[in-house]
Amino acid sequence: MDSISLIGMASVITAGLTVAIGSIGPSLGEGRSVAQALSSIAQQPDETNNITRTLFVGLAMIESTAIYCFVVAMILIFANPFWDHVIAK
């Protein structure tokens, strides 16, 4: 097996693990946030607007972690810096 095949295989495996592991934490955090927000809205219905606004800002921050993992995976697959190094040799 040549170097280009090994780098391609390692890139695809690493990208898959990055997305798989990197999405577990944000999904658990988002589920917990939504559950807590619904509980808070049930206890204080008058504060629904404030709770919802804060919830969406928090969800956006949590989701950015999963998006960063996705971006790293795309870089590994499509713009891997090791390709140029191996091809130059």
The answer, yes or no, to whether residue 14 has pLDDT greater than 80, is: yes
Residue 41 tokens read as: 């809205």
> Which residue's entry shows tokens 């988002």?
30
**H-helix or E-strand containing 65?**
helix 48-78
Please tell me the number of Cα atoms within 13 Å of 65 on its side-chain side.
15
Dmax (CA) of the chain: 67
Q: Please tell me the distance from the alpha carbon of residue 69 to that of residue 48, in angstroms, as a whole number.
A: 32
- pLDDT of 16-63, one tens digit each? 999 999 999 999 999 999 999 999 999 999 999 999 999 999 999 999
**Which CATH superfamily, name and number, covers 3-81?**
F1F0 ATP synthase subunit C (1.20.20.10)
Q: Break the chain into its structural domains and give their ranges.
A: 3-81
Task: Please tell me the pTM assigned to this model.
Answer: 0.75
